[in-house]
Amino acid sequence: MKKALALAVAAIMALSLAACGGATSSSTSQSSSASESTSSSSTASESTTTTGAEIAMITDKGDIDDKSFNQGTWEGIQAYCEENGKTCQYYKPADATTDDYITSIEQAIKDGAKVIVTPGYLFEVPIYTVQDQHPDVKFVLIDGNPNDGAKEPTYKTSENTVGIKFSEQQAGYLAGYAAVMDGHTKLGFLGGQAVPAVVNFGYGFVQGANDAAKEKGITVDMMYTNTDGFSATPEAQAMAASWFNAGTEIVFGCGGSVGNSVFSAAEGANGLSIGVDIDQSGESETVVTSAMKDLASVVANVLDQYYADSFPGGQNLVLGADTHAVSLAMDTARFETFDQAAYDALYEKLASGSIEVKDNTAAASPAELGTENCNVTVVTM
């Protein structure tokens, strides 16, 4: 699967190298960072800064060990560096603000980074701001496209930048469909901050559950909420626990460490859960499957293109089932009846486009998606 993804993504990203030049500016960073300077990818403490790393990653609103988006991206970078003898370092901004993100980016450039990977929608404005100031640095923006952040934003992806989005709604659809086909009728979605990627996962989850229920001739119920961040919190765990205690059978924990709150609640209530971004089956015995984005392979492919002088600059890519960039974790799945054959048949329909899944632009609320066989109750935290 990963080899197929790399080939498919390479075909989509094929573009001649953009010429670049200019001087590098720098500023004093107040952010924390962890680093490694050899292909072994070992990390130092977050207060340590080393110079000379070619590849840098700036963490999104969350921790490097979130067992989700940040960690999945970083582990992909580490693996690439180990396999190819490159150096890499990550930086954790002091806070999740545009200014702090830019400070960390500037520090990475000062330390010698030639490629900077920024995972998360919240980096759209920072990358828009810095990309033209550093034309000799390559920027990989995951889950967003650079823009000025205005109410009616101006978008610009410079020749030294690539924007990569995923069709998370397809991964969410797979999870919702599989959960209902596996016999569940009372579901929950507990998402992190309602950024587009999280909303896509949630909307897809609702639609997949709806279509499976329609196919089975039943109606299912879903509790649905978003937190204001990506951390595991007592409030998120309490919310999930209240759902389980009221009869919810399985909850999709979607958004960095928010999933850990769901896993803990599920463990305490003999409930079930669904992970996100990477295979989270090892985090809890309650995890039935995970709705995944193949972050590691996609990032590795872009790095390969950079070192092959074919960086896909100036492009905004959207990767989905047609390039095997989204999936369910089936090898470690704990389904009772939903099997590989059913999954493969469903996946092919998504990949071919015969099933179209609405994304975050389709409705202001999941309750407005028109899912007649899935009753959605939106809860405000």
pLDDT tens-place string over residues 10-24: 444 443 333 333 323
Report the distance separating Cα 111 and Cα 36, nearest Å.
Answer: 13
Tokens 């409705």 correspond to 363
To the question of domain 20-158 being in CATH 3.40.50.2000, the answer is no
Report the distance separating Cα 29 and Cα 158, nearest Å.
Answer: 24
Fold entry, domain 168-292+327-378: Rossmann fold (3.40.50)
Tokens of 34: 């962890």
Print burial letters for 308-331: b (CB count within 10 Å at least 16), e (below 16): eebbbbebbbebbbbbbbbbbbbe
Tokens 């470690």 correspond to 332
- Phi (first) and psi of residue 272, to 5 degrees: -125, 160
Residue 160 corresponds to which amino acid? Answer: N
Starting from the edge strand earliest in sequence, which strands make up the sheet with 315-319, in order?
Answer: 32-36, 88-92, 55-58, 115-119, 138-142, 161-166, 315-319
Tokens of 107: 């520090």
Walking along the chain (381 residues) 10 residues at a time, the average pLDDT comes out as 46 37 31 34 34 90 78 93 97 95 97 96 97 98 97 97 98 98 98 96 98 98 96 96 98 94 98 96 97 94 97 98 97 98 98 98 97 97 88
Alpha helices, H only, the chain? 2-13, 69-84, 98-110, 124-130, 168-181, 196-216, 234-245, 258-269, 295-307, 340-352
Report the distance separating Cα 34 and Cα 63, nearest Å.
Answer: 11
Can you say how many angstroms the Cα of residue 78 is from the centroid of all Cα atoms in its chain? 17
- Phi (first) and psi of residue 64, to 5 degrees: -65, -25
- Phi (first) and psi of residue 234, to 5 degrees: -60, -35
In this prediction, residue 367 carries a pLDDT of: 95
Tokens of 364: 């202001």
Write down how long the chain is.
381
3-state DSSP assignment of residue 90 = strand
Residue 76 corresponds to which amino acid? Answer: G
Q: How many CA atoms lie within 13 A of 127 on its CB side?
A: 35
Which tens digit of pLDDT belongs to each residue from 40-79? 333 322 323 446 799 999 998 777 887 778 888 999 999 9
In this prediction, residue 182 carries a pLDDT of: 98
Starting from the edge strand earliest in sequence, which strands make up the sheet with 287-293, in order?
Answer: 326-328, 287-293, 272-277, 250-254, 186-191, 220-226, 374-378
Delimit the domains of the chain by residue range.
Answer: 20-158, 168-292+327-378
Q: Is 168-292+327-378 the same fold as 20-158?
A: yes
In this prediction, residue 55 carries a pLDDT of: 98
Angle at the Cα of 155 from the Cα atoms of 307 and 57, rounded to 5 degrees: 40
**Residue of 354, 184, 143 whose CA lies nearest to 266:** 184
Q: The pTM is what? A: 0.85
In this prediction, residue 51 carries a pLDDT of: 63
